[in-house]
Amino acid sequence: MEARAEHDSLEVFLKASLTDEQRGNVLFVSFTQWDFALAALADTATCLHQMGSEVTLGFWTNKTPMHDTGWSVNDKVAKLFASPARDQRVRDALIDIGIPKSSLANPPISGWRPAQPVPITRAMNRSEIKALTYFGSPMGRAMLQVRTLTETPVTDAYYWPERLLRLAATSYAFAYDQTTELIKARGVTAVAVYNGRFLHDRAASAAAQALGIPVLYYDTGGIDTDFDLTDSVTHDWTDLQRRMLKLYEQWPEGQRDEVGGSWFQERLNHTAADNALFTEAQVIGSSIDRPDADCLVVYFSSSGDEIAELELDWDQFIGTQPEALKFLADECRKRDGYQLVVRSHPHKRRKPKQDVIEWLEAVDVANPDIHLDPHSPVDSYALMRQADIVVTYGSTTGVEAAFAGKRVIVLGPSAYDQLGCATLAGTQVELSTALDDRDPGSWPGAVSYGLMMRRRGFHFEFVKRGPDNSFNLGGRAFADSRQSVRHLSHLLGRIQRWNLR
């Protein structure tokens, strides 16, 4: 029996999210060859087609000046070896189910040149890049998502190569201008993109928004579902938490705690596949020799690069993560019987060297009572059980600690600070007050997070998933190109990125 999903019907969601007029002609512009993203596109486009909407399809993965993060196969190589790329197979499958060939759209502007200058004449650091815009849209933030061959630390001490930046900016402008023109030429009434964070998806969504056109974002679903579709940007954590609380409220009372709790239990038992990278070096049940402290405060750090480019009001937070840690350490030292343990994120083992150096320097400045480095075998879940108070800068361990019945304080951006399970301390005064309270927050609030992680989004209604996790539509498999084609494409992609150093 199929597990219940957050949404029962894609058609019902589309009717609630878009008016009849807005569903008139929906443009799907794709820059990725990831199978799960293309499967979400195919299911949504098919549903709209069945509802009577016109669908416009722009498979532009190989049309942009720079490859997007989800690119894998060169279309010319695929054609030469008669082994179509995955996005080409999805395109053909959609035509086979009845979407007319006239719905296919290439970039409409021939001999394209940027409609607005993109003056990049030197290498830039992260802060300078973030400030770059194109017709007021956040081009710089999108540029920071591109793949490179070299390490790209978060620190402003690192300068991104000029050639890389120039090509990324040009490619963003290409996607923005071409999407703008296509919307006007085809009378597009809504646009759907993958995720909305990557270079070209962000450009396409920005182009639509500038014209007052609504945007839908498709993405991965929950562990037990197939995909997500939302009319809010994928990383709008306020909206996501609203959905969590609504989902928990509407879920059968006899099932919601068990289903939501199972997400936490898998992570506690080190059996969650999506968490293996973080726990592979940890020994289940391994803990520290608990110091003789009246109140043990444990800080779990966040991976800086994963939060650096979020579009948030950063003034609502206590400061940067190093600053927040120093404030926390100082507050703990003011209190008799308080001791601070810092657990550095295991992901640091695979992060750029400079980022690791700067973080370890920040820990030294904070001078906690105990520091567990990224290589420590101590089990994070055993450690949080030893804590009286858990503090994070947004790390998922915060909501996991709340599920374990711990007092949780969050100092940075998170997807659980509005669930009632954690206290957001945005100032030193708020942090001081929060540390004086050891009562846990809302356990159901924490469970709602796990419930969303399991059942987020939709089940496929038209796309079929095989036992090997392959996808097909109308019997046409979304198979990838032959290995030789992928390898040659990969080599060509590496050569392009090598030349951009």
User: Is residue 172 in a domain?
Assistant: yes
Domain CATH for 126: 3.40.50
pLDDT of 305 over the 90 cut: no
What is the Cα–Cα distance from 218 to 40, expressed in whole angstroms?
6
Q: Are residues 76 and 42 in the same domain?
A: yes
Q: Are residues 178 and 295 in the same domain?
A: no
* Domain, as residue range, for 282: 257-454
Instruction: Check residues 273 and 52 and name the one with the higher pLDDT.
Output: 52
What is the value of pTM for the model shown?
Answer: 0.94
Domain CATH for 384: 3.40.50.2000
pLDDT of 308 over the 60 cut: no
Number of domains in the chain: 2
User: Is residue 276 in a domain?
Assistant: yes
Q: Are residues 364 and 287 in the same domain?
A: yes
Q: Are residues 464 and 376 in the same domain?
A: no
The SS3 of residue 106 is coil
Question: What percentage of the chain carries pLDDT values higher than 70?
Answer: 96
What average pLDDT score do residues 242-263 get? 97
Q: Are residues 450 and 492 in the same domain?
A: no
**384 band by pLDDT with thresholds 50, 70 and 90:** very high
Consecutive H or E run containing 29: strand 25-30
Question: What percentage of the chain carries pLDDT values higher than 90?
Answer: 83
Three state DSSP letters for 362-408 = HHHHHCCCEEECCCCCCCHHHHHHHCCEEEECCCCHHHHHHHCCCEE
User: Is residue 121 in a domain?
Assistant: yes
What is the Cα–Cα distance from 349 to 60, expressed in whole angstroms?
35
Point out the domain boundary residue: 419, 435, 454.
454
Q: What is the pLDDT of residues 418-474, one digit of tens each?
A: 999 999 999 999 999 999 999 999 999 999 999 999 999 999 999 999 888 899 999
Q: Give the pLDDT score at 313.
A: 65
Q: Are residues 192 and 312 in the same domain?
A: no
What average pLDDT score do residues 246-256 get? 97
User: Is residue 248 in a domain?
Assistant: no
What is the Cα–Cα distance from 267 to 185, expressed in whole angstroms?
49
Q: Are residues 197 and 321 in the same domain?
A: no
Q: Are residues 296 and 172 in the same domain?
A: no
Taking the CA atoms of residue 98, residue 222, residue 253 and residue 261 in that order, the dihedral angle to the nearest 10 degrees is 160
Q: Are residues 205 and 313 in the same domain?
A: no
The SS3 of residue 337 is coil
Q: Are residues 447 and 463 in the same domain?
A: no
User: Is residue 246 in a domain?
Assistant: no
User: Is residue 147 in a domain?
Assistant: yes
Q: Find, among 374, 340, 336, 337, the residue nearest to 357 by Cα.
A: 374
Q: Are residues 449 and 489 in the same domain?
A: no
Q: What is the pLDDT of residues 106-135, one digit of tens each?
A: 999 999 999 999 989 999 999 999 999 999
User: Average model confidence (pLDDT) for the chain?
Assistant: 94
Are the beta carbons of 359 and 322 closer than 8 angstroms? yes
Q: Give the pLDDT score at 314.
A: 66
What average pLDDT score do residues 482-488 get? 95
pLDDT of 363 over the 90 cut: yes
User: Is residue 436 in a domain?
Assistant: yes
User: Is residue 349 in a domain?
Assistant: yes
What is the Cα–Cα distance from 46 to 202, expressed in whole angstroms?
23
Beta pairing class for 227-230 and 295-300: unpaired
Q: Are residues 72 and 194 in the same domain?
A: yes
